[in-house]
Amino acid sequence: MTNGQSERREMTGAEMVVQALKDNGVRDVFGYPGGAVLPIYDELFQQDDVRHILVRHEQGAGHAAEGYARSTGKPGVMLVTSGPGATNAVTPLQDALMDSIPLVCLTGQVPTSLIGSDAFQECDTVGITRPCTKHNWLVKDVNKLAAVIHEAFHVATTGRPGPVVVDIPKDVQFARGVYTPPQMAPRTSYQPKVQGDLDKVKAAVEMLAAARRPVIYSGGGVINSGPEASQLLRELVELTGAPITSTLMGLGAYPASGKNWLGMLGMHGTYEANMAMHDCDVMVCLGARFDDRITGRISAFSPNSKKIHVDIDPSSINKNVRADIGIPGDVGRVLEDMVRLWRATVKTDRKALWPWWEQVARWRARDSLAYRMNDEVIMPQYAVQRLFALTREHDTYITTEVGQHQMWAAQHFHFDSPNRWMTSGGLGTMGYGLPAALGVQIAHPDALVIDIAGDASVLMTMQEMSSAVQHDAPIKIFILNNQYMGMVRQWQQLLHGNRLSHSYTEALPDFVKLAEAYGGHGIRCEKPGDLDDAIREMISVRKPVIFDCRVAALANCFPMIPSGKAHNEMLLPDEATDEAVANAIDAKGRELV
Amino acid sequence: MNAQLQPTGSAYFIAKETEHPEIHTLSVLVDNEPGVLARVIGLFSGRGYNIESLTVSETEHEKHLSRITIVTRGTPHVLEQIKHQLERIVPVHRVVDLSVRALELGQERPLERELALVKVAGTGDARVEALRLASAFRANVIDANTEHFIFELTGKVSKVEQFIAIMKPLGLVEVCRTGVAAMNRGAQGM
């Protein structure tokens, strides 16, 4: 930064915070004031470079910052007070940790002299957030404050990105000290390795070139690595001619309209993606981490394949699945080497993969995402498909909550570019989508930002409708309302003898009136025939919209890999009769888990 | 194991562990800053790893570096994870599995020593026997009056264990142990 103001000079801790934000390129901060951060809020009030977005709950600030980060590739910033402000931030911090989202959280703390005295709104913030951050700091010396904030941004955004917390006691905010501008002197103990080992990359290219049944399995790491990584991934797929699937987090890195696309893999992935994973001879995992939602039963996971695993976090390699070639490094850099080496050394034999593609075609013909249309009731899959069809011409960003609607969105809404899909994958945080949509809309004021939501999830952070109205963020909350916690119910049907313990929401609010009460716009749609017009109305309204889409109450999410089963033992929608669902997990499977 | 007693089913896949656990000694070089030990032990408790012994002290004052020695038990797969997870901690500089390093150097184990303070109270024959055994173990008497001794003993864990067991019937009052300090043999540093 060549900001004239960012030189060594004396100022208060609170001024330093705002100056450090500016010096780190921060335009927007999501937060909520309170006693222990008032000096910082006073500084924010007296300047215009950093915009503060007031939320209604600190969890909302965190998810909004996450949505902002995921859709821009820049770090998200949140500012909260001590005690309850900090504890409310814990859920988004853990969410960002599990999905590797750069999130800088500044917390106020009681004055240094009161720490440990059980003061009003005191909590051990660094203690509570230690396991849910990449790193955290308690700053007791105002002269170190600026350097710590710069380091916090560096740690959050480099290596495997993640959340960080800087806890700032109130007396440090008032104290005067010397501000140090950002400088590139990272601590010697933190040196993430980004370049992959070239010999291993060579071996990987050779292995992939010799494959007859290859599959590429990409994840959120490709998105985190930046748009170049997605471009290189597309080149690698084109060069190798291999089929490609992706995790929930990686959707959009390879275009869903691309001819090599198999759809998402995993528990609710497509038949062709999971079968290809099971039957492949070489698997290339790029920036994904073999999560348990992906692998199914580990002992039966892709039994006959050689596995290449590229990940920026060395601890991800060999954690769940043993890699034959493990390459720690930034997936973008490694992809660059792979593409270059492939071009230089491999003569692609397209015909060699023909039998494999014929097999893939047979799996695709199984049409695993099919569902039975209904003229009377809106099928949730149909709702997502229409939403996709009618928003294609727009600059669209999608967030979701967690549950059946999330899986239907992943299956039926198709992404052709990265950073367009914001969802809570690792932690599975219900209530993520609405505030995340707010964050996306703040970053992209003219875009169409839609939270594909469930009726249960959305109520967890519904209060952020008020923030959206205040900040003129015309987010669209598209609720697939089946009046159930659908995914909970689905598991109760599978595992607990269809005893639907507390998974039916008996007293849902009138979502249309709720939207109006917040100052937004409410739409209800109950018939498939009315859906298109209602969606068009939603798109055209220039204010926050809650769309109450009444869908088939008992629809379940298929295909599915039931518990204890392997990729080739999927439960397909046309086989999922009540009886099949009840018996999908046999006694042995139940004992297993 | 508990899951097998309550076969209710769940949304998770649990694989049975087939490898056998081993005991390894790790050396962890860290920046000596507030909370660094909490990060290390929090990692062990949070991820369900074992700590058999833990020793920590600042070893390079100018650079503010501390060396943590951890004796842990786990399968080779878990031990590899522990090393990588420790390396992810921002103030951690280096992690060396001394047990693996010892094997690479053609040695069975790294050098491991522990210090124990052992208080024994008694009179008469028991007291004489305690002193005689202490001398056989090369333990030093660092405090005594007519009714007690405090012995200082340094050695391998097995030696310390044995000494304590022998002192039990001779009036053992209390024991304090430092945990294992360890390094590899040879000229090279960690």
- B27 CA: distance to closest CA in chain A (Å): 15
Q: Which residue of B has its CA nearest to A298?
A: B15
Q: What residues of chain B lie within 8 A of the CB of A189, using their CB?
A: 30-31, 90-93
Q: Give residue-wise pLDDT tens across range A434-461.
A: 999 999 999 999 999 999 999 999 999 9
Going by pLDDT thresholds of 50, 70 and 90, the confidence category of residue B88 is very high
Q: Of these residues, A207, A465, A487, A570, which one is catalytic?
A: A487
Does the active-site annotation cover A121? yes
Dump the DSSP string for A106-173: EEEE--GGGTTS--TT---HHHHHGGGSSEEEE---HHHHHHHHHHHHHHHHSSS--EEEEEEEHHHH
Q: Are A563 and B9 an interchain contact pair (Cβ–Cβ within 8 Å)?
A: yes
Contact A315 B85 (CB under 8 A): yes
pTM for the model? 0.94
Interface of B with A (CB under 8 A): 3-4, 7-15, 30-31, 34-35, 38-39, 42, 46, 77, 80-81, 84-85, 87-93
CB B134 within 8 A of CB B170: no
Considering only alpha carbons, which residue of chain B is nearest residue A328? Answer: B84
What digits encode the pLDDT tens for the residues A3-34? 445 678 999 999 999 999 999 999 999 999 99
Cβ-based contacts of B77 with chain A (< 8 Å): 318
Predicted confidence (pLDDT) per residue in A224-234, tens digit = 999 999 999 99
Confidence grade of residue B18 (pLDDT, cut at 50, 70, 90): confident
Q: Which of A127, A189, A563 sits opposite B91 (nearest CB)?
A: A189
Whether the pLDDT of residue A88 is over 90: the answer is yes
Is B13 in contact with A298 (Cβ distance < 8 A)? yes
A575 is a catalytic site residue: no
Nearest to A153 by CA among A178, A124, A186: A186
pLDDT for res A183: 82
Residue in B30, B42, B93 nearest the CB of A130: B42
CA distance B6 to A128: 32
CB contact under 8 Å between B7 and A591, yes or no, is: yes
| B30 contacts in chain A (CB < 8 Å) | 189
- Set of chain A residues whose Cβ sits within 8 Å of the Cβ of B42: 130-131
- The pLDDT, as a whole number, for residue A349 is 85
Q: Could you check whether the bond before residue A163 is cis, i.e. omega within 30 degrees of 0?
A: no
Cβ neighbours of A503 in B, within 8 Å: none
Q: At a CB cut-off of 8 Å and minimum separation 6, what does B189 contact?
A: none
Asked if B98 and B127 count as a contact pair (C-beta separation under 8 A), the reply is no
Q: Which residues of A touch B45 (CB under 8 A)?
A: none
Looking at residues A405-426, what average pLDDT do you find? 98
Q: Chain A contacts of B90, Cβ < 8 Å? A: 134-135, 155, 187, 189-190
User: How far away is chain B from the Cα of A190, in angstroms, using its nearest Cα?
Assistant: 5
Query: Which residue from B minimizes the CA distance to A293?
Result: B12
- Write the Ramachandran bin of A290: left for phi over 0, alpha for psi from -120 to 50, otherwise beta: left
Residue B17: predicted pLDDT: 72
Identity of the residue in A138, A318, A563 whose CB atom sits nearest the CB atom of B11: A563
Mean pLDDT of A188-203: 95
Which residue among A188, A315, A591 places its CB closest to the CB of B4?
A: A591
What mean pLDDT is reported for chain A?
95
The whole-angstrom distance between B170's CA and the closest CA on chain A is 44
Instruction: Write out the E strands in chain B.
Output: 22-31, 53-60, 65-74, 92-97, 111-121, 140-145, 148-155, 172-177, 181-183
- Is A170 an active-site residue? yes
Of A170, A200, A476, A565, which one is the catalytic site residue?
A: A170
Where is A579: in which H helix or E strand? helix A578-583
**Chain-chain contact of A298 with B30 (C-beta, under 8 angstroms):** no
CA angle B99, B100, B106 (to 5 degrees): 90
Q: Kindly report the nearest CA distance between residue B71 and chain A, in angstroms.
A: 20
Identify whether the C-beta of residue A456 lies closer than 8 Å to the C-beta of residue A532. no
Residues from chain B contacting residue A155 (CB–CB below 8 Å): 90
Helices (H), A401-461: 404-412, 433-443, 455-458
Per-residue pLDDT of A330-386, as tens digits, reads 999 999 999 999 999 998 888 999 999 999 999 999 999 999 999 999 999 999 999
Q: At what angle do helices A58-72 and A433-443 cross, to 10 degrees?
A: 50
With bands split at pLDDT 50, 70 and 90, how would you rate the model's confidence at B7?
Answer: very low
- Residue pLDDT, tens place only, B42-82: 999 999 999 999 999 999 999 999 999 999 999 999 999 99
Q: Tell me the ipTM for this assembly.
A: 0.91
Q: CA distances (Å), A157 to each of A24, A63, A89, in order?
A: 11, 17, 19
Catalytic, out of A22, A74, A121, A470: A121
Contact residues on chain B for A295, CB-CB shorter than 8 A:
13
Q: What is the mean pLDDT of residues A43-50?
A: 98
pLDDT at B8: 42
Is A189 close to B30, i.e. CB distance below 8 A? Answer: yes
Smallest Cβ–Cβ distance between A298 and the set B4, B15, B85 belongs to B15
In this predicted model, what pLDDT tens digit does every residue of A556-588 receive, in sequence order? 999 999 877 889 889 898 887 777 776 776 655
Taking CB atoms and an 8 Å limit, are A295 and B92 in contact across chains? no
DSSP state of A272: H
Length, in residues, of chain A: 593
Is the pLDDT at B1 greater than 50, yes or no?
no
| Number of A–B residue contacts, CB under 8 Å | 80
Task: Mention every residue, 6+ apart, whose C-beta is less than 8 A from residue A234.
Answer: A254, A255, A258
Contact A511, A524 (CB under 8 A): yes
A526 pLDDT above the threshold of 70: yes
Residue where the block lists tokens 């990584």? A229
| pLDDT given for residue A350 in this prediction | 84
Q: Which of A47, A120, A191, A527 is catalytic?
A: A120
d(CA B53, CA B116): 13
Q: Which of A15, A43, A58, A272 is catalytic?
A: A58
Q: Using the beta-carbon criterion (under 8 Å), do A131 and B46 form an inter-chain contact?
A: yes
Q: Looking up tokens 């700590």, which residue turns up?
A: B51
Cα four-point dihedral sign A243, A249, A251, A254: negative
Q: What is the pLDDT of residues B131-177, one digit of tens each?
A: 999 999 999 999 999 999 999 999 999 999 999 999 999 999 999 99
**In the predicted model, is pLDDT for residue B4 greater than 70?**
no
Q: What percent of chain A has pLDDT over 90?
A: 89
Residues of A with a Cβ under 8 Å from any B Cβ are 126-127, 130-131, 134-136, 138, 155, 187-190, 292, 295-299, 313-315, 317-319, 491, 494-496, 563-564, 585, 587, 589-593
